[in-house]
Amino acid sequence: MRSIVRIGGRAAGFLVAAALAVAALGAAALVPWPEHRVTPPSLVVQPAESRQQRVCPGPLLTLADDAAAATTASSIGEADVIVGADPDDAEITETPIDAPENPRADRDGTPVAIEVEPGTVDAGLIAGAQSQSADTETMAGFAATACAEATSESWLVAGATTLGRTSLVMLANPTDVAATVDVRVTGETGAIDAGSALGIIVPGGSQRVVSLAGIAPNLSSPVVHVTSSGGTIAATLEQSAVDGLAPAGVELTGAAAMPATTQIIPGFVVAEAGGIDPAEDHAEGDGFPAVRLLAVGDEPVDVSIGLVPETGSAAGATIEATLQPGRATDVPLGVLEAGAYTVRLEADGPIVAAARAAVGGTDAAPAPGAADIAAAGDFAWSVSTAPLLDDAVVAIPDGGSPVLHLANEGEDVAEVQLTIDGSARAITIDAGSAASVEVDAGSTVRLAGVAGVHAAVSFDAEGELAAFGVQPPGPLDAPIRVFPR
């Protein structure tokens, strides 16, 4: 009996000790433990502010001007360049970019990099643009484009390499570092396998020119994706056309907005009434209003194309289209009245876009009662644009009847302040509406209150047609937090 009592006592003691341990652990769980956190050492580094820079592509080029050098791209004259900044007294430096492949560069000039010193101009408040008229046996028409910011990636939505169509991709490297450039082309039949267009070396401070027909022949709807490593590239596409023996237009087209599910093309000018029914998926020729689209992805994309007159005098038309992945498509925009339009594109997948219009030529089916169109003519590509920041500067090069187009795609009314060569005026643009302003050739336009607004410049006079989009600046240098190892 005594042993049993002794064992029972020991067991009870063990149970009491266990209970006390559990209680202690529970109390420890309820009482906050002291914390000790170690923050790894780091340093915020502010990159030195870089110069704001834009690149003008230089004079128009033509192939086969010399039978002894049929693949050489030679210039046919000098481009007119206009530059501007805010404030007006900001010093703008113009630096020529070498064009070693152009045998007439000494006579006609080269691409030009324009830049301002760091801290002298706010983001986006430097601009340049160029224009040039051509009148030769192989090229005629008027071309204008904005001087662009050099980037590591751009999309050129324009051009053709079918019979009578010549397209050149101009690659200008304004940096001191050589750029390795890949030029990838997608057409109506899909992606083009062209190994010679990959790994193109563009030395620092120079331009190289790639003939699109050399890497992607017989395409009616090419889209060109340009990427670079090392130095950045300002890419421009020049397209010229010949119908029979008569030159039928020329255009310089800069980069479109990056792939997105919503794209806006402001200031799309239809110079003459006419067009082709959208149901004609394989409409021949390029003398009718159309929008070029490419779905950037691996799945089909449904797109709604809205066409709204700038004047608001008529209800906008809507066209539905389905894009197959990896195939560029030109969608006819129907029979349109002459005027300026905003093209709105809504898709269920990322796309790139630009719209084409022509004046003259014989491809377009005239509207009822319209007069026959002469064989010679010109054409223009209007690219999709990204929304502007609150302030912007637009340079207006020489050309007939220049017009600045502003499309407010925001949800609020835009109160825009325009200052043109010192003369100020205010414009109110309702949400979802657009406005246009006639501007003087050779002027610089200062815009304020344009956050979320899309802008473009068009020229339409005496059978000449041209357009370019106004793109916002890329992201500025931002502070970087560095964690040493």
User: What are the tens digits of pLDDT across the range 228-274?
Assistant: 999 999 999 999 999 988 999 999 999 999 999 999 999 999 999 99
User: What are the tens digits of pLDDT across the range 112-161?
Assistant: 999 999 888 998 899 999 999 999 988 999 999 999 999 999 999 999 99
Mean pLDDT along residues 219-230: 97
User: What are the tens digits of pLDDT across the range 161-199?
Assistant: 999 999 999 999 999 999 999 999 999 999 999 999 999
Per-residue model confidence (pLDDT) at position 50:
66
Q: Is 475 helix (H, G, I), strand (E, B) or coil?
A: coil
> Is pLDDT larger for residue 37 or for residue 224?
224
Per-residue model confidence (pLDDT) at position 106:
96
| Measured distance CA(300)–CA(324) in Å, rounded | 5
| Measured distance CA(321)–CA(331) in Å, rounded | 8
Map out the domains of the chain as residue ranges: 52-470
User: What are the tens digits of pLDDT across the range 316-351?
Assistant: 789 999 999 999 999 999 999 999 999 999 999 999
Instruction: Using pLDDT thresholds of 50, 70 and 90, give the confidence band for residue 314.
Output: low
Per-residue model confidence (pLDDT) at position 483:
56
Residue 258, C-beta contacts closer than 8 angstroms, at least 6 positions apart: 153, 155, 352, 386
Asked which of 23-32, 56-65, 139-148, 384-393 is least confident by mean pLDDT, the reply is 23-32
Q: In angstroms, what is the C-alpha Rg of the chain?
A: 30
Q: Nearest 5°: phi and psi at 13? A: -60, -40
User: What are the tens digits of pLDDT across the range 391-448?
Assistant: 999 999 999 999 999 999 989 999 999 999 889 999 999 999 999 999 999 999 999 9
User: What are the tens digits of pLDDT across the range 435-447?
Assistant: 999 999 999 999 9
Question: Cβ(263)–Cβ(305) under 8 Å?
Answer: no
Question: pTM, whole model, 2 decimals?
Answer: 0.85
Residue 286, pLDDT above cutoff 80:
yes
> Is pLDDT larger for residue 254 or for residue 475?
254
Per-residue model confidence (pLDDT) at position 144:
98
Residue 62, pLDDT above cutoff 70:
yes
DSSP 68: G
